[in-house]
Amino acid sequence: MHLIPNVNNENFSKCPVCVKEKFSKKPFKSVTARKAKLLELMHSDLADFKNIMSKDGKKWYITFVDYCSRYTKFYLLKSKDEAERNVLNLQR
């Protein structure tokens, strides 16, 4: 007794969406030289922990990454309005 019937592969064509989703992209080129000087270009993210709170009541975080050196600072915040204070502290 066969629970799954035999299926002939010749009767099916590839779905265009499936073909597109399985398309593999070439990897990004590796960075050999950085064009920015130290502290000339910074990247920052401000986000929440998606309804999860730390032990001391902080549910937001902000990161600062220097593009040249990749030096990173990470701060935990109780509210979004604390972000401005951390930006000012970073500038000093």
Please write the tens of the pLDDT for every residue from 38-86.
888 889 999 998 888 899 999 999 999 998 888 999 999 999 999 888 7
Q: In what order do the strands lie in the sheet with 60-66?
A: 42-48, 60-66, 72-77
Cβ–Cβ under 8 Å, residues 38 and 51: no
- The answer, yes or no, to whether residue 8 has pLDDT greater than 70, is no
Looking up tokens 């590839």, which residue turns up?
14
Query: Which pLDDT band, with edges at 50, 70 and 90, does 15 fall under?
Result: confident
- Tokens matching residue 55: 């032990």
The C-alpha atoms of residue 33 and residue 11 are separated, in whole angstroms, by 53
Q: Which of 11-15, 73-77, 88-92 has the highest mean pLDDT?
A: 73-77
